[in-house]
Homo-oligomer: A and B are copies of this chain.
Amino acid sequence: MRIGVDYYPEQWDENMWESDADRMKEIGVNIVRLAEFAWSKLEPVEGNYDFAWLDRAIQLFADRGIEVILGTPTCTPPQWMLHNYPEIIQVDQHGNRVATGIRGHRCMNSPMFREFCRRIITKMVSRYRDWDSVIGYQIDNELEANQCRCSVCQERFRSWVKRKYGTIEEVNQAYGNIVWSGEFSDFDEIMPPMGEHLLWMNPSLHLDYQCYASDSTVGYARYQAELIRKLDSDAKITTNTWLCEHMPDFYDLFSNMDFVSYDNYPTAELPQNPRELYSHAFHLDLMRGIQGKPYWIMEQLSGIVGSWAPMGRTPKPGMLKGYALQAYAHGADAVLHFRWRTAKAGAEMYWHGILDPSNVPGRRYQEFRDLCQIVGTLPEMEGAMPVNKVAVLYSSLQEYAFKLQHQAEGMYYLEYLKSWHDAFTCLGIGVDIIAWDAPLKQYDIVVAPNLLINDDRVVRHLYDFTERGGTLLLTNRCGVKDENNQCMTEAIPSVYRDLTGITVREYDPLGMVIRKLDIQNDAWADNLGKWSKRVAADQEYSKVSCTRWCDLLEIHMGSVEVLASYGEEFYQGTPAVSRNPYGKGWCYYIGTGLHREAYIALAETILQERKMSYYADLPIGVELTERTKGENTWQFLFNNTEQRQVVSLEEEILLEPFEMRVIPS
């Protein structure tokens, strides 16, 4: 398996390079990422390229059998370019060019900038395509959905809208522009959402804008990918993604790349309250699900983070190693730590690497060395994947829609997904996070939280899945909107009416308020009793409570079983959670937000019902995952807690904090 670092030779005296490479070789590094931010060093003057230094760096690694992945340096255009071609600088939501001096100022759509990209990438790929040790390219860096409002981008947005709808009448219809006299007479009148009050904008237009913004970034990444591929058809192509404010659609972004890469910075401070959800594994499973293939960690936590913000706590012993091994356990084929040595200059100097600027090996270095050694002993499981029976559906579209219209205080799309992912994880069940429109055949249980916006194809999938015998979980805020982000004119959950057997009579957005819930289903109640003790023995309302949002359910099919109803408010006794047999399967409807222990208990109930095996006694915070390749299957145990844990599988296994264990089976 690949283990490595991000390395910036251009930031250090060349006389350090050799000893750096020697050290890496010695401890077992087999891959480095280079050149990501080095444009000014590669093209110091417009049209004058200097790759000689990079040749020397790559050669040092090649000599030691260390592979290289190169970053296209386009996230950081050189100062001369920004100065001489100001039209390539992004424009913010107020219509002003952003202040330069940081990074990422480029307008991805600027024709001039694209031309500069074309030139530098052509130079780079043409030069290195014959170098065996250069195995591929990372495109740009941490791409966000393009929020530039320059005139080029405005025009692009208009064209996007025109392509989608054809006529201005269709646009007005789709956006419901008649409200507040927002009807356009002409495409020229269409503007991206701008100004201070973006959340006041028409949500249909705004959602389209976010989709356009994703497409815009995807288009830029494709432009680079196609260019590289044309020059070097063998090169592996990826880009390093992350969870940020404006996320491009991951499935689109990677659709023509070779593998997914992720920048992985789990927290150094775990929540102390066991009821508080901590689900970093969700991120890893999300990444694996993008292509349904193993992914790379292109940047891995290596020390204290902080720079523009105050520094956070130092990672505890075992975290560096453990979090990296956790990534492999969840499907990574490579982990590159950010970064070999902490920068001694620049805005990011307190974002700590493996080594300090002093170059003196310390605790982090020792831990990284251990890690490299362990990775060296891992089975060769490149390409190995888990075969999971539970999936949680993820959708960028829903994610955007929830951000644009915050439903209730404290209610976040990703939190719902994480809660379900966590519930099954606590039971030792591997979970896939997959695209909401992905095929569902392989799964027994599919959780589809918050399907706010309808999509015919997805709806058909879900009906089919259930009909064929699957267990489907739907939640509040599903079936609320049509594909244009307008409200459905059928009662919620509209398209899911037959599947669920219920209608949402009305709803109460509780926000942060907590209310009692009465559980009618015995199995769930029993399980909950057990989990309440384990998770939240001393918490207020610990046994049965709900929060964030209450759908008041009306049952319109005799087949529906009410699993829980509200225990307070004027709607006391009203059904809150229900299940309905459909075809050979079941559809659950969870109309309210639960607490951690209730999610786990419900997940357990469903597993029991389906007679699926699970691990009832897994300590909370311990993850049990699998990867399979051909004949081989490996099981992994990872202790994501600060305490020593004992796991009883066939034998008792003792796990130190953050320890990962491979159990060949």
A200 adjacent to B102 (CB under 8 Å): yes
Q: How far is the CA of A461 from the CA of B474 in the complex (A)?
A: 67
B306 adjacent to A181 (CB under 8 Å): no
B77 adjacent to A181 (CB under 8 Å): yes
A180 adjacent to B347 (CB under 8 Å): yes
A489 adjacent to B312 (CB under 8 Å): no
Q: How far is the CA of A487 from the CA of B347 in the complex (A)?
A: 11
Over the window 201-217 of chain A, the binary record of Cβ atoms lying under 8 Å from chain B Cβ atoms (1 yes, 0 no) is 11111000000000000
A629 within 8 A of B: no
Q: How far is the CA of A203 from the CA of B570 in the complex (A)?
A: 50
A638 within 8 A of B: no
Over the window 350-362 of chain A, the binary record of Cβ atoms lying under 8 Å from chain B Cβ atoms (1 yes, 0 no) is 1000001111101
A487 adjacent to B342 (CB under 8 Å): yes
B310 adjacent to A409 (CB under 8 Å): yes
CB distance from A310 to the nearest CB of B (A): 4
Residues of A in contact (CB 8 Å), total 106
A308 adjacent to B200 (CB under 8 Å): yes
B185 adjacent to A358 (CB under 8 Å): no
B362 adjacent to A505 (CB under 8 Å): yes
Q: Which of B37, B44, B314 contacts A179 (CB 8 A)?
A: B37
A32 within 8 A of B: no
A506 within 8 A of B: yes
A277 within 8 A of B: no
A182 within 8 A of B: yes
Once A38-B181, A181-B41, A194-B101 are accepted as A-B contacts, the answer to whether A201 and B347 lie under 8 Å apart by CB is: yes
B488 adjacent to A358 (CB under 8 Å): yes
Within 8 A of B (CB), among A7-32: 8, 10-11
**Complex interface: chain B residues within 8 A of A309 (CB):** 199, 406
B363 adjacent to A505 (CB under 8 Å): yes
CB distance from A396 to the nearest CB of B (A): 21
Over the window 489-512 of chain A, the binary record of Cβ atoms lying under 8 Å from chain B Cβ atoms (1 yes, 0 no) is 111100000000000011111110
Once A181-B38, A509-B311 are accepted as A-B contacts, the answer to whether A197 and B345 lie under 8 Å apart by CB is: no
A45 within 8 A of B: yes
A78 within 8 A of B: yes
A181 adjacent to B102 (CB under 8 Å): no
Q: Which of B79, B345, B505 contacts A176 (CB 8 A)?
A: B345
CB distance from A313 to the nearest CB of B (A): 6
Q: How far is the CA of A260 from the CA of B269 in the complex (A)?
A: 48
B489 adjacent to A181 (CB under 8 Å): no
B492 adjacent to A178 (CB under 8 Å): no
A183 within 8 A of B: yes
B181 adjacent to A37 (CB under 8 Å): yes
B405 adjacent to A350 (CB under 8 Å): yes
Over the window 597-622 of chain A, the binary record of Cβ atoms lying under 8 Å from chain B Cβ atoms (1 yes, 0 no) is 00000000000000000000000000
Q: How far is the CA of A73 from the CA of B183 in the complex (A)?
A: 14
Q: How far is the CA of A203 from the CA of B358 in the complex (A)?
A: 19
**Complex interface: chain B residues within 8 A of A196 (CB):** 99
CB distance from A17 to the nearest CB of B (A): 14
Residue of B nearest to A16 (CB): B489
B37 adjacent to A180 (CB under 8 Å): yes
Q: How far is the CA of A338 from the CA of B536 in the complex (A)?
A: 44
**Complex interface: chain B residues within 8 A of A304 (CB):** 507-509
Q: Which of A188, A408, A487, A510 has the most CB of B within 10 A?
A: A487
CB distance from A102 to the nearest CB of B (A): 4
- The contact sample of 19 A-B pairs, CB cut-off 8 A, is A8-B179, A11-B176, A11-B179, A40-B177, A79-B177, A99-B195, A102-B201, A103-B181, A180-B347, A201-B347, A309-B406, A310-B411, A313-B511, A314-B507, A317-B570, A349-B486, A350-B405, A357-B489, A362-B505
| 3 A-B pairs closest in CB distance | A176-B345, A99-B195, A179-B346
